[in-house]
Amino acid sequence: MMTTAVPAREGFARWRERIATTFGQLDVESVRGVEPQTPVGQLAERTLGRVAAFYVSGSPQIIRRTPRAISRAPADGLKVCIQQRGRTVVHQNERELVIRPGQLAVYDTGVPYDLDLAGTWSCAVMLIPRDALGLSHRSLRDAMSHTWQISAGPGVALTHLLTGCTGQEVDQSSPFADAALGEAGLNLMSSLLDAVEPASLERASSSDLTRRTYRYIHDHLDDIDLSLAGIAHELAISERTLHRLFRNEPQGVAELIRVLRLEAIRSDLADPRLRRRSVMAIATGWGFPDQSHFTRAFRQQFGVTPAAWRRSRVGEPVRPARRMTR
């Protein structure tokens, strides 16, 4: 875990650099009516497998992710913000969300946004892959238009997990333990969204069916026989209806399955528990038996080869010891 506290006297330049480095070229500005170069803050961070956890606090300030920042540091993840103190106003996609203490909101790091942070504020933040929650494009868009109460159930547990992970000295932690905590955070977030489903999803039968399709795909992603025909059969709809459901989604059904499987492989390659499994053994288990096709697809999706990604996360693979012959 890394922690940066910036004293007020020397804070602005260092704080601005720290925020930009950690969060993909975010820019810090002073709030109107407050003297320039006064925003300061404190930041703790911890990598939890495919999840990143942060605890951020500070004085009043505005933080922006601009189109220029996105072009310089592209991102395709979601941020989950849990307000602890103060108030955050998120401006994104012509929407305004006010997050108060005890509330949670989700926003998109791949789209420009402004955060207006008021008062003496603090937030627990989780950065997650876009597809990790198993939501359709419409469901995700709906989720990002609401704040969520976290006074009970999975919201409370998620808050404790994030604040606990970023508030402890973790020099002795293992990648295995950290990855498990990250998956627990994702499960809690999914449970929260399931438990407090926006009413608009329940009113629209097509939206509900699309959501059920996403859930079915996620639950059967490791089934190498997963197909459009099989999905349509299980949901008691025609393949034509299935295609129509995804007409306004960013990906068709087949492309969604391909991308989610690549995400699952990337996660497995970063799992220290699987270091003894070869890259192709993992890929084949997720429905990519052809090495050249898999390597090309992985590199196209993530901009790096599978082997290079694994080395960057867990180092060189552990190979079984050779048997001695006489």
Region of residue 36 (left: phi > 0; alpha: psi -120 to 50; beta: else): beta
Task: Kindly state whether residue 325 falls inside one of the protein's structural domains.
Answer: no
Same domain, 20 and 102: yes
Read off the amino acid at residue 45: E
Task: Kindly state whether residue 240 falls inside one of the protein's structural domains.
Answer: yes
Structural domain for 251, as ranges: 204-314
Please give the pLDDT value at position 10.
56
Flag the least confident range among 163-177, 198-212, 216-230.
Answer: 198-212
**Does residue 190 carry a pLDDT above 50?**
yes
Return the closest-CA partner of residue 63 out of 25, 34, 93.
25
Task: Kindly state whether residue 15 falls inside one of the protein's structural domains.
Answer: yes
Same domain, 212 and 152: no
Which regions of 66-112 does DSSP assign to beta strands (E)? 77-92, 95-99, 103-108
Q: Exposed, middle or buried, 171 (CB in 10 Å: 0-12/13-18/19+)? A: exposed
Question: Could you tell me which residues come within 8 angstroms of residue 62 by beta carbon, excluding any fewer than 6 positions away?
Answer: 28, 29, 30, 31, 114, 115, 116, 117
Please give the pLDDT value at position 174.
81
- Which of 197, 213, 230 is the last residue in one of the domains? 197
- Which of 171, 197, 223 is the last residue in one of the domains? 197
Yes or no: say if 147 and 98 are a contact pair by the CB < 8 Å rule. Answer: yes
Same domain, 173 and 26: yes
Task: Kindly state whether residue 326 falls inside one of the protein's structural domains.
Answer: no
- Which of 163, 197, 231 is the last residue in one of the domains? 197
Task: Kindly state whether residue 320 falls inside one of the protein's structural domains.
Answer: no
pLDDT in tens, 287-322: 999 999 999 999 999 999 999 999 888 776 555 545
Structural domain tally of the chain?
2
pLDDT in tens, 235-271: 888 888 888 888 878 788 999 999 999 988 998 898 8
Same domain, 132 and 219: no
Task: Kindly state whether residue 324 falls inside one of the protein's structural domains.
Answer: no
Tell me the pTM. 0.63
Task: Kindly state whether residue 191 falls inside one of the protein's structural domains.
Answer: yes
**Does residue 203 carry a pLDDT above 90?**
no
pLDDT confidence tier of residue 168, bands split at 50, 70 and 90: low
Same domain, 56 and 165: yes
Same domain, 144 and 209: no
Domain CATH for 67: 2.60.120.10
Same domain, 115 and 27: yes
Domain CATH for 254: 1.10.10.60
Task: Kindly state whether residue 319 falls inside one of the protein's structural domains.
Answer: no
